């Protein structure tokens, strides 16, 4: 892991967009999602109030490369009732109380037989763990350890009113069409239940990012994908294999709402444009982390599998699996904050600006340094109030405008902000000192 420690400050207080992202995450939080089922559809219903989602249903049994679409899971209720008739656990209190994708079950069991089906965290006794049984079917509950550690012996009535039947896998996507068919893919998993950071935060942020692009004319087309982890990404890839060649940039989002320093995991390629753009943006922030690719994580594993090897990295704040709230009931709405959601949003918008505004200039007067004073260019950058350029950014652009350096390459070489170099290049182009290649 590479730590970057230039001078920097934390995120400013949230304004409108941070509050809007948080409010949407708040609406998504109570929904019981899984890799299939009505919880996913209900989530897409909420997201569709903000963007025009196209919904896809993939039938159970459909082959997705080496995987198969599983049965659809829906749950109505689940309880454990003690020997005294009191309710020990109730799914209505928290949808983490049931193992996600649990088999249905109904019966009366002695405590010794019930205990292996109740999952707890003895080292975090106040918290409910998040557990799944997607591909190893079983039934079970999850509970705070303190709640079930001292259960009395006796017989317990157990009921999980759930269905696992042939149905469909559901995912949603939104395409913002740009001037080109070349695409920027942004993806978040939609299968986690009441976990605010992982991943209500990613779903809400992507929806608001998509909404913000609706009124913007862009060079690239932007595809937003809301799909169940692993199996959903595979479903999209299998249905769009002939279009993956159009993807020039990609990001998977997860855990983007907490107070941790921003982190980026590079694509399998390691030097893709998205890797360089994210490195440039985060490299100017104190505490930000850059990590090399590994085949463990979220859906970047599928997009970066060797048969596709797409330029897709992963953006987070606290890295999944490294914070104590991860996959527990402590990943609640108090764990994410509007100001951190907004900071993540601003980072992504800055990266989109780089993708949109990068170009390769050529100096029309490369022999010696052009006289900037007589063209009024030094006056134009005085105070940086009008153009956004600086005298140093003008000099760097002129010097590196040899037809071999794009603006991002110039930013990497000069260690100046991309936006300053872009402003300088625009100014020089207007004064006919540059030509665009």
| CATH code of the domain covering residue 203 | 3.40.630.10
Regarding whether 313 and 256 lie in a shared domain, the answer is: yes
Query: Where does a domain end: 308, 339, 356?
Result: 356
DSSP, res 89: E
CA atoms within a 13 Å half-sphere pointing along the CA-CB vector of 77: 8
Regarding whether 275 and 184 lie in a shared domain, the answer is: yes
Q: Of 50, 164, 143, 137, whose CA–CA distance to 90 is shortest?
A: 143
- CA 7 to CA 283: how far, in whole Å? 10
Regarding whether 319 and 216 lie in a shared domain, the answer is: yes
Regarding whether 94 and 23 lie in a shared domain, the answer is: no
pLDDT value, residue 382: 54
Give yes or no for residue 14 having a pLDDT over 80.
Answer: no
Regarding whether 387 and 289 lie in a shared domain, the answer is: no
Q: Which residue has the higher pLDDT, 378 or 90?
A: 90
Regarding whether 178 and 291 lie in a shared domain, the answer is: yes
Q: Omega before 199 cis (within 30°)?
A: yes
Query: Where does a domain end: 165, 193, 214?
Result: 165
Regarding whether 422 and 320 lie in a shared domain, the answer is: no
Instruction: Give the predicted TM-score (pTM) of the model.
Output: 0.93
Give yes or no for residue 294 having a pLDDT over 50.
Answer: yes
CATH number of the CATH domain containing 153: 3.50.30.90
CATH number of the CATH domain containing 426: 1.10.10.10
pLDDT value, residue 386: 53
Q: Of 427, 435, 432, 417, whose CA–CA distance to 380 is shortest?
A: 427
- CA 311 to CA 387: how far, in whole Å? 33
Query: Residue 351 belongs to what domain range?
Result: 2-69+168-356
Regarding whether 51 and 198 lie in a shared domain, the answer is: yes
- Each residue of 149-196: pLDDT tens digit? 999 999 999 999 999 999 999 999 999 999 999 999 999 999 999 999
The structure tokens listed for 78 are 């689940």
3-state secondary structure of 157: strand
- CA 17 to CA 73: how far, in whole Å? 34
Work out the average pLDDT over 420-427.
95
| Cα 91 to Cα 68, 75, 79, 146, distances in angstroms | 29, 9, 6, 17
Regarding whether 182 and 117 lie in a shared domain, the answer is: no
> What phi-psi label fits residue 189: left (phi over 0), alpha (psi between -120 and 50 degrees) or beta?
beta
Regarding whether 202 and 298 lie in a shared domain, the answer is: yes
- Each residue of 316-374: pLDDT tens digit? 999 999 999 999 999 999 999 999 999 999 999 999 999 999 999 999 999 999 998 88
Query: Where does a domain end: 140, 165, 190?
Result: 165
Work out the average pLDDT over 208-233.
97
Q: State the total domains in the chain.
A: 3
Q: CA torsion, points 59, 61, 67, 69, in degrees to nearest 10?
A: 40
Give yes or no for residue 407 having a pLDDT over 70.
Answer: yes
Regarding whether 173 and 155 lie in a shared domain, the answer is: no
Regarding whether 317 and 379 lie in a shared domain, the answer is: no
H/E stretch holding 232: helix 231-239
């Amino acid at each position: 892991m590479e730590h970057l420690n230039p001078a920097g400050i934390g995120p400013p207080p949230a304004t409108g967009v941070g509050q809007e992202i948080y409010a949407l995450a708040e609406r998504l939080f109570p929904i019981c999602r899984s890799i299939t089922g009505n919880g996913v559809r209900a989530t897409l219903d909420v997201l569709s109030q903000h963007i025009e989602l196209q919904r896809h249903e993939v039938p159970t049994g459909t082959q997705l490369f080496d995987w198969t679409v599983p049965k659809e899971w829906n749950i109505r209720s689940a309880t454990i009732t003690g020997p005294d008739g009191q309710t020990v656990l109730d799914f209505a209190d928290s949808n983490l109380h049931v193992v996600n994708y649990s088999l249905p079950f109904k019966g009366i069991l002695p405590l010794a037989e019930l205990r292996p089906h109740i999952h707890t965290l003895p080292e975090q006794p106040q918290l409910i763990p998040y557990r799944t049984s997607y591909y190893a079917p079983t039934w079970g509950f999850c509970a705070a350890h303190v709640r079930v550690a001292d259960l009395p012996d006796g017989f317990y009535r157990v009921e999980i009113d759930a269905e696992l039947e042939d149905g469909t896998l559901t995912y949603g996507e939104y395409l913002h069409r740009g001037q080109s068919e070349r695409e920027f893919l942004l993806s978040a998993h939609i299968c986690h239940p009441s976990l605010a950071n992982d991943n209500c935060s990613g779903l809400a942020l992507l929806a608001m990012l998509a909404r913000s692009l609706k009124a913007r004319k862009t060079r690239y087309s932007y595809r937003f994908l809301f799909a169940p982890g692993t199996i959903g990404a595979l479903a999209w890839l299998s249905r769009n294999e002939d279009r993956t060649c159009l993807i020039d940039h990609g990001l998977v989002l997860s855990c983007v709402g907490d107070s941790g320093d921003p982190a980026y995991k590079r694509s399998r390629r390691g030097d893709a444009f998205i890797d360089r753009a994210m490195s440039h943006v985060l490299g100017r922030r104190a505490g930000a982390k850059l990590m090399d690719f590994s085949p463990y994580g979220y859906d970047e594993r599928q997009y970066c599998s060797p048969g596709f090897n797409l330029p897709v990295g992963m953006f987070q704040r606290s890295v999944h699996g490294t914070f104590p709230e991860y996959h527990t009931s402590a990943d609640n709405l108090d764990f994410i904050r509007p100001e951190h959601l907004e900071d993540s949003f601003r980072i992504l918008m800055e990266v989109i600006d780089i993708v949109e505004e990068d170009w390769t200039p050529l100096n029309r007067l490369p022999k010696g340094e052009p006289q900037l004073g007589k063209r009024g260019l030094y006056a134009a950058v005085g105070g940086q109030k009008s153009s956004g350029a600086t005298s140093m950014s003008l000099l760097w652009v002129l010097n590196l405008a040899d037809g071999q350096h794009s603006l991002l390459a110039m930013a990497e070489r000069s260690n100046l902000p991309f936006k300053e170099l872009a402003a300088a290049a625009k100014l020089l182009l207007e004064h006919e000192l540059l030509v665009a290649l």
